[in-house]
Amino acid sequence: MTGPLPTPDRPLRIGTRGSPLALAQAHEARDRLMAAHDLPEAAFEVVVIHTTGDNRAMIAADRALKEIGNKGLFTKEIEEALGAGRIDIAVHSMKDMPTEQPAGLVLDCYLPREDDRDAFVSPVAARIADLPQGAVVGSSSLRRRAQLAARRPDLRLVEFRGNVQTRMRKLEDGVAAATFLAMAGLNRLGLAHIARAAIGPEEMLPAVAQGAIGIERRATDAATGALLAAIHDAPTGQRLAAERAFLAALDGSCETPIAGLAVLEGGDLWLRGEILRPDGSQVLAGERRGLAGDGAALGADLARELRARAPADFFDWRS
Ligand SMILES: NCc1[nH]cc(CCC(=O)O)c1CC(=O)O
């Protein structure tokens, strides 16, 4: 250790959003730090921070997120609190994180990745293929909407927002016949039974970094850096290096129709990526295999290939 351990008198302040999933993730980070350093729960303080995304999502509950915000919508205030020293670490869903961090902050601690697949949720069908012709599907994710439109152009897509309970009620009320959620979120909330099926990556390639939790800190805070190093999961780091380099080289965010998944096979990394037109009329997919430590280069290289293959107007959906 390069500094004093947190104590009940000087607790490590963990910044997080206040949603049930965000809190579950903050508690998982805290529990892993407690176990790794033999610390009591009182040595940690969970600080809930309200973000622009939370506020606007409430005001405009039915508007697509892509219309009301941009990159970092759910992370800006948390990163400000971290930079200003009001919290010591920030726990994030890596899927929602921009590919670059503000000056002075580092994000190099990842917890072991949860299930990276999407979940199919529906009271009327056991899988996508069983949905009746023309069925209504709710999703606010540009990626999932584009992927679904590519496979099933007959389906009607509608915006779907709110927490898991709200979405389940909409399904019960018949507002839509099906929706999608991340398996990781359901698992962390103890709601895995809600999934009718987990969708494999061959059927629906997940979002970059789906299922991964990252912990951010101040670059100058060496003591916290040492504390976090003990709980960092290196395989998750290697997978995310590939996926996030792919996303960064496409200048994408979690609100663009881009999918990417890297897995480790033996000592090797296998990265698959795809970019879609929002209406699903065109999908460009590719893959790379390489050394586990070469993820960043593999991701950038795959992005280069897809960019080169994309027609001139392919990226017009980006503002
Ligand atoms: N963009 C929202 C978001 N960010 C992270 C998760 C789930 C947990 C994860 O992927 O790690 C979700 C909800 C969802 O997609 O169902």
CA–centroid distance, 210 to ligand 1, in Å, is 7
161 domain residue, yes or no: yes
* Residues 287, 154 share a domain: no
At residue 3, the pLDDT reads: 75
CA nearest ligand 1 atom 7, residue: 185
The total domain count for the chain is 3
Of the pLDDT bands very low, low, confident and very high (cuts 50, 70, 90), residue 74 is confident
Please report, for residues 18, 21, 52, 57, 64, the alpha-carbon distance to residue 244 in angstroms, rounded to integers and kept in the order given.
25, 22, 24, 25, 24
- In this predicted structure, the answer to whether residue 1 has a pLDDT above a threshold of 80 is no
Q: What is the pLDDT of residues 88-141, one digit of tens each?
A: 999 999 999 999 999 999 999 999 999 999 999 999 999 999 999 999 999 999
Strand, coil or helix: 173: coil
Query: How far apart, in whole angstroms, are the C-alpha atoms of residue 78 and residue 25?
Result: 15
296 domain residue, yes or no: yes
At residue 71, the pLDDT reads: 59
Tell whether ligand 1 has an atom less than 6 A from the beta carbon of residue 115: no
Closest ligand 1 atom number to CA of residue 212: 11
- In this predicted structure, the answer to whether residue 158 has a pLDDT above a threshold of 60 is yes
Query: How far apart, in whole angstroms, are the C-alpha atoms of residue 156 and residue 230?
Result: 47
Tell whether ligand 1 has an atom less than 6 A from the beta carbon of residue 119: no
314 domain residue, yes or no: no
More confident residue, 60 or 223: 223
At residue 192, the pLDDT reads: 97
Can you read off the two tokens belonging to residue 262?
């890297």
Q: What is the pLDDT of residues 243-298, one digit of tens each?
A: 999 999 997 644 569 999 999 998 899 999 999 999 999 999 999 999 999 999 99
315 domain residue, yes or no: no
59 domain residue, yes or no: yes
Tell whether ligand 1 has an atom less than 6 A from the beta carbon of residue 182: yes
Closest ligand 1 atom number to CA of residue 206: 10
Domain that holds residue 298: 233-306
CA–centroid distance, 104 to ligand 1, in Å, is 26
Can you read off the two tokens belonging to residue 178?
């099906």
At residue 18, the pLDDT reads: 94
Tell whether ligand 1 has an atom less than 6 A from the beta carbon of residue 96: yes
* Residues 184, 237 share a domain: no
Task: Choose which residue among 16, 210, 243, 256 to substitute to test ligand 1 binding: the one with the highest number of ligand atoms within 8 A of its C-beta.
Answer: 210
CA nearest ligand 1 atom 8, residue: 185
Question: Rounded mean pLDDT of the chain?
Answer: 92
Contacts of 226 (CB under 8 A, 6+ apart): 1, 2, 3
Cα dihedral: 106, 108, 110, 116 (round 10)? 90
Please give the single-letter amino acid code of residue 136: V
At residue 47, the pLDDT reads: 98
Query: How far apart, in whole angstroms, are the C-alpha atoms of residue 179 and residue 186?
Result: 13
* Residues 268, 151 share a domain: no
313 domain residue, yes or no: no
Query: How far apart, in whole angstroms, are the C-alpha atoms of residue 283 and residue 72?
Result: 26
* Residues 273, 225 share a domain: no
* Residues 108, 251 share a domain: no
4 domain residue, yes or no: no
Tell whether ligand 1 has an atom less than 6 A from the beta carbon of residue 184: yes
* Residues 25, 135 share a domain: no
Active site residues: 96
CA nearest ligand 1 atom 11, residue: 211
CA–centroid distance, 209 to ligand 1, in Å, is 10
5 domain residue, yes or no: no
Write b or e for each residue in 25-62: b if 16 or more Cβ atoms lie within 10 A of its Cβ, otherwise e.
bbbbbbebbeeebebeeebbbbbebebbbbeebeeeee
178-188: average pLDDT: 97
- In this predicted structure, the answer to whether residue 7 has a pLDDT above a threshold of 90 is yes
Counted residue by residue, the chain has a size of 319
CA–centroid distance, 94 to ligand 1, in Å, is 9
Can you read off the two tokens belonging to residue 248?
């960064």
Query: How far apart, in whole angstroms, are the C-alpha atoms of residue 233 and residue 229?
Result: 9
CA–centroid distance, 140 to ligand 1, in Å, is 12
Tell whether ligand 1 has an atom less than 6 A from the beta carbon of residue 95: yes
Query: How far apart, in whole angstroms, are the C-alpha atoms of residue 151 and residue 142?
Result: 14
* Residues 159, 76 share a domain: no
